[in-house]
Amino acid sequence: MSDLTIAALNRADRDSFVERLGSVYEHSPWVAERSWADRPFDSVDDLHASMKRVVEDADRERRLELLRAHPDLGERTEMTDASVEEQASAGLDQLTPDQYEAFQRLNERYRDAFGFPFIMAVRDESPDAIRAAMEERVEHSRDEEFRTAIDEVHTIARLRLEERLES
């Protein structure tokens, strides 16, 4: 349990605020930087709504950069601590060689189709459920999948905020 509270964030200077929340949106501290001005926040819901609004108000290219900041699922490369924990909760750190290869093929197909990695709030999902979602979503239109991926990023951010902040 974190000792970070909404009250403490409301009192934080910009640098401290960004230091604590800059990674809520994967490798995108600009979201926290822009949300800081919306203080004071009444709740985690209020803070999340502010951060979500910052993303939604960004131009498409900036949102595409945000999507591209996420790692491929099942990838065995350097990731943020939050991504490592989230993928581990879904068993993606223990894939069999066959599962790993299947994820790599799907990741490549998905990235080729959309220009960004497959993004899903995977906490406590199974590898089979994630793979099924990948197989379904790779058939989406570009616009539909862009929207779906942004919505998943917001879900991930919400879960990260809940984890970091004392209720």
Q: Which long-range contacts (CB under 8 A, 24 or more apart) does 89-93 make?
A: 89/122, 89/123, 89/124, 90/122, 90/123, 90/124, 90/125, 90/126, 90/127, 90/130, 91/126, 91/127, 92/122, 92/127, 92/130
In a domain, 59, yes or no: yes
154 is catalytic: no
- Domain holding 59, by residue range, is 6-164
| Residue 129 falls inside a structural domain | yes
Q: Encode pLDDT of 101-143 as tens digits.
A: 888 899 999 999 999 999 999 988 888 999 999 999 999 999 9
Q: Tens of pLDDT along 68-111?
A: 999 877 665 555 777 667 776 767 778 888 888 888 899 999 99
Any idea what the CATH number is for the domain that residue 85 is in? Answer: 1.10.3330.10
Domain count, the chain: 1
Q: d(Cα 17, Cα 32) in Å, to the nearest integer?
A: 7
User: Active site residue: 48, 70, 140, 154, which one?
Assistant: 70
CB atoms within 10 A of CB 56: 10
Identify whether the C-beta of residue 138 lies closer than 8 Å to the C-beta of residue 113. yes
Best CA proximity match to 124, nearest among 100, 88, 160 = 88
CB 47 within 8 A of CB 17: no
Is 1 part of a structural domain of the chain?
A: no
pLDDT at 1: 43
